[in-house]
Amino acid sequence: MKPIAVWGLLVLIPLNLLAAEPAPARQQELIHLLKQDCGSCHGLTLKGGLGPALLPNDLQAKPVDFLAATILDGRPGSAMPPWRGMVNEDEARWLVQRLREGIR
């Protein structure tokens, strides 16, 4: 395969997949945040409560950047608080990917 063709294929990779992955210990902290803090409003099984469901089928149609921005900046006029300061942009995208995959 020619080098130009390889670079052409790389352009097809969504930029959100290139985000840095948190260290394993931080991943555990983020999963705990999802289960405890997010679960307090979205339901402990993330099927919804005060906030909407965060299950894979509920999130697939929503853009990653929109969901990450919601995590970071909250939703003005709603009970959704901003988490910027607790998580950075890469971590917010990582959380969205875990939610889309279904966390365990």
Domains defined along the chain, listed by start: 23-101 (1.10.760.10)
Cβ atoms 22, 91 nearer than 8 A: yes
pLDDT in the model for residue 103? 82
CA 90 vs CA 14, 21, 46, 71: distances in Å: 14, 7, 22, 11
Residues 21-79 have pLDDT tens digits of 999 999 999 999 999 999 999 999 999 999 999 999 999 999 999 999 999 999 999 99
Given a cut of 70, is residue 13 above it in pLDDT?
no
pLDDT in the model for residue 18? 55
pLDDT in the model for residue 59? 97
Handedness of CA 79, 84, 86, 92 (dihedral sign): positive
pLDDT in the model for residue 16? 47
Q: Is 82 exposed, middle or buried (0-12, 13-18, 19+ CB in 10 A)?
A: middle
